[in-house]
Chains A and B, each alone.
Chain A
């Protein structure tokens, strides 16, 4: 880690301003939104209503794929953070930033859709179940990550600090999971068993698979759009500093 490389990192834009994509239609994004729309049409009109939970069960087709996307996002933050500290490529830092922000959006989706399902089925908006608590803390960690980024002006320092937090955050997750799990099992709560999906009917399974697929595409569309925004911002920042 020499002085020169760090100074270079702080002043050079990761991509020349001319190479940053301008306006125009983001076709990838359009396809992703259309796919999600198709999924929802299928969820609402062509998927049977679950016998005991009623229509509320259909939230699963939003809740589960959003959770999957959030985990992909935070996994990507940890990966790009490690790679950044190793390779010092500012693009990796921008990718981590984009992924964290998209992950927070999906986690928010999970945290909103969960209680909406929980109220009619569990009879309560919120319960300190291990999985719920972990998701809430995930949200706190990565909101903290975004606030930290906003509080540092120097791009190189911002990249190093947030990479450290991105890695430690990933290391923290199993510990929070372990302690909230132990907390719950020592204090059993009157929770209706969370219905997993061991033997879903064929239509439901297909709809679920479709929603996983479309949300994964949506995740990458969000990530791509946010990453382009990050590149443009970095280019402007570098231009101003010149």
Chain B
């Protein structure tokens, strides 16, 4: 071992996240498929309801969050999927970084991925569903960030587990979706209220659930992650 100096967990996580994002940026396959999937979803959802019977403003928050969840799953599946090819995970495990740093790096890269998908999807929903997001833009971005942290925290851990199983593509959503309930429900409810012009104070209890979920599951998943790696 030439370099004996161990870098800090955060620094290691940033390097790992940059590696994943560099791979994604050069290929862009997962990102484009997730964005196209999200846009398709938005369009198809519109035709699943009778627009004369259900107002678009009632539809938009639910559509937004269901689409994020499924588009996010596409990205999460790829997160550890890329490490399976050529057993790249062995290189990662052999690197002088802690297991927690691997988890944080992966989660960070996934957060950027989901955030980028959202940055395109939210304006697209505003456009297609004729939504006045402008006034509440900041609050909705904050909800999106809080919800994404929760989705990514759980999803990253389950991605690491699912890739090593048979039925990986099926197992990831099956394990993740029950865990996404306390994220998607508050996020959609809070978004709906903000779009209806209600004050931020009215959604405070939903935001508290999101924050509590983020704290609990980022901690728990980081602690649990080392157990999901092969020795």
Give the secondary structure class of A's interface: helix
A182 and B205 contacting across the interface, CB-CB below 8 Å: yes
Complex Cα gap A175–B154 (Å) = 14
Q: Is A172 an interface residue (CB 8 A)?
A: yes
Tell me how far the C-beta of B178 lies from the nearest C-beta in chain A, rounded to whole angstroms: 5
B161 and A148 contacting across the interface, CB-CB below 8 Å: yes
A168 in contact with B179 given A147-B174, A161-B161 (CB within 8 Å): yes
Q: Is A164 an interface residue (CB 8 A)?
A: yes
* Segment of B45-53, B62-70, B213-221 in the binding face: B213-221
A152 in contact with B175 given A161-B228, A171-B220, A182-B209 (CB within 8 Å): no
B165 and A179 contacting across the interface, CB-CB below 8 Å: no
A148 and B231 contacting across the interface, CB-CB below 8 Å: no
Q: Which residues of A contact B171 (CB under 8 A)?
A: 147-148, 151
The 0/1 profile, CB within 8 Å of B marked 1, for residues 1-32 of chain A is: 10100100000000000000000000000000
Interface size class of B (residues with CB under 8 A): 20 to 34
Q: Which residues of B contact A140 (CB under 8 A)?
A: 177-178
Q: Is B129 an interface residue (CB 8 A)?
A: no
Tell me how far the C-beta of B187 lies from the nearest C-beta in chain A, rounded to whole angstroms: 10
Q: Is A141 an interface residue (CB 8 A)?
A: yes
Complex Cα gap A2–B57 (Å) = 56
Q: Which residues of B contact A137 (CB under 8 A)?
A: 178, 181
B216 and A175 contacting across the interface, CB-CB below 8 Å: yes
Q: Which residues of A contact B228 (CB under 8 A)?
A: 160-161, 164
Q: Is A157 an interface residue (CB 8 A)?
A: yes
B:97-153 near A, CB below 8 Å: none
Q: Which residues of A contact B216 (CB under 8 A)?
A: 171, 175
Q: Is B3 an interface residue (CB 8 A)?
A: no
Q: Is A49 an interface residue (CB 8 A)?
A: no
Tell me how far the C-beta of B181 lies from the nearest C-beta in chain A, rounded to whole angstroms: 6
Complex Cα gap A147–B172 (Å) = 11
Q: Is A85 an interface residue (CB 8 A)?
A: yes
A179 and B182 contacting across the interface, CB-CB below 8 Å: yes
Q: Which residues of A contact B181 (CB under 8 A)?
A: 137, 176, 179-180
Complex Cα gap A168–B217 (Å) = 8
| Interface hub of B164, B165, B189 (most chain A Cβ within 10 A) | B165
The 0/1 profile, CB within 8 Å of B marked 1, for residues 149-177 of chain A is: 00110000100110111011001100110
Instruction: List 10 tightest A-B contacts by C-beta distance, closest first.
Output: A175-B182, A151-B165, A179-B182, A164-B224, A151-B166, A179-B185, A160-B227, A140-B178, A151-B167, A141-B178
24 pairs from A and B in contact (CB 8 Å cutoff): A3-B231, A85-B227, A137-B178, A140-B178, A152-B165, A157-B164, A160-B228, A161-B161, A161-B164, A161-B165, A167-B220, A168-B154, A171-B217, A172-B178, A175-B216, A178-B182, A179-B182, A179-B185, A180-B185, A182-B189, A182-B205, A182-B209, A183-B189, A186-B189
B residues in contact (CB < 8 Å) with A: 154, 157, 161, 164-167, 171, 174-175, 177-179, 181-182, 185-186, 189, 205-206, 209, 212-213, 216-217, 220-221, 224, 227-228, 230-231
